[in-house]
Structure 1
Amino acid sequence: MTDNNYVIRPIQPDDNAKIAVTIRKVLIEMGVPKVGTAYADKALDSMFENYQQQSARYFVIELNDEIIGGAGIAPLDNYNGPVCELQKMYFLPEARGKGLGLQMMTICLEFAKSAGFKTVYLETMPYMKDAQKLYNKVGFKYIDGPMGDTGHYSCTVWMIKNI
């Protein structure tokens, strides 16, 4: 999918280092703790390999051969049932405010539905208000506590959407 010079596509092996740097930059910019969040995930340095199961997919946004954002869907860790998690949705400043978040969300939700999931879960930080606006816009609702066990104990906002 393209919009001007932006390309949203599935992650490739050569994207691993680029997406790890992109995600860490955004997390540092947002003041996210380095423990109990995606920053500390071992998967961050091998994203391609971690999304190579049938029910998981990670997408990146590319602009002029640079990775400027990404998001993925995978089964919710330590949870039984048709629930997936929207994972590692982060965009550099140059990707924000251009409708790319909505495009990425649409792609991720379409994949989740096609993979047989019935519910999408996500975790975020209370001060990530722009992200929460997007999540609300596409139908996510707040819930009172975490589902599964993602290891992201520093994330204190939880949301779900039935698909």
Structure 2
Amino acid sequence: MGADGVGGVVIRDAEVKDFAAVGELTVEVYVGEGHVNPQSPYVAELADTATRAESAEILVAVRGDEVLGSLTMARPGTPYADIARPGEFEFRMLAVSKRARGLGIGTALLEKVIDTARAEGFEAVVLTTMPTMQDARRMYDRLGFRHVPDRDWRTSTGLPLTVMRLPL
């Protein structure tokens, strides 16, 4: 998909003008689709793109001015790296608009993550996913990510989370 885009979709770094749309989309997907409880303190973190952008890199998939997808890339040792160990590049908060699913947007965002991690000399890409995120899980499997059961963890409320890793 790249900078020239397929179907007019471009993958690029988020700009300040994108932040509100990224926050809305992320909350819409995580809360609206039942992955995160609307009362969870995590909702505020999902919505706060500006704070996230201070210490992580946010990618967007846009068509014109419309944000159709986004994710957050976190290098190990930075505030948004939950599980990255030295040598691992982590991404979080992948969200693709319901109306844009099936267009390859999630795959294009992940390919940008993988390319970035390779270019920076990382040995692997890691992520945490939730059992309810079946569509995302199929995409991760297809791209070669593998479940690492000994690294699975639970949220403070006991929700089980799955860690997946792609060696580069």
Tell me, what secondary structure is at the counterpart of 1:18?
Answer: helix
| Alignment check: 8 A CA contact 2:152 2:162 kept | no
Counterparts in 2 of 1:148 and 1:33: CA distance versus 1, 3 Å: closer
Identity of aligned residues (%): 24
Unmatched runs of 5 consecutive residues or more in structure 1: none
Q: Which amino acid aligns with 1:57?
A: E
Taking structure 2 as the reference length, the TM-score comes to 0.79
User: What's the counterpart of residue 105 of structure 2?
Assistant: 100
Distance 1:73 1:151 in 2: 23
**Alignment partner of 1:134 out of 124, 134, 139:** 139
Q: Post-superposition shift, 1:137? A: 0.8
Question: The residue matched to 2:151 in structure 1 has which SS?
Answer: coil
Match of residue 62 from structure 2: 62
Deviation digits for residues 91-145 of structure 1, max 9, x if unmatched? 0112210112211111111011222321211111112111111101111001114
2:141 counterpart letter in structure 1: N
Calculate the aligned-residue CA RMSD, in Å.
2.7
Instruction: Quote the Cα distance in structure 2 between the aligned partners of 1:73 and 1:152.
Output: 25
Q: Is the 8 A contact 2:131 2:161 kept in 1?
A: yes
Tell me what 1:31 maps to.
34
Read off the aligned partner of 1:45 and give its amino acid letter: D
DSSP 3-state at the match of 1:94: helix
Q: How many residues align?
A: 158
The letter for the 2-side match of 1:26 is V
> 1:86 aligns to what?
91
The equivalent of 1:50 in structure 2 is 52
User: Does 1:120 find its partner at 2:125?
Assistant: yes
Residue identity opposite 2:143 in structure 1: V
Which of 24, 28, 35 is equivalent to 1:21? 24
1:10 to 2, 10, 13: 13
TM-score for both structures, normalised by structure 1:
0.82
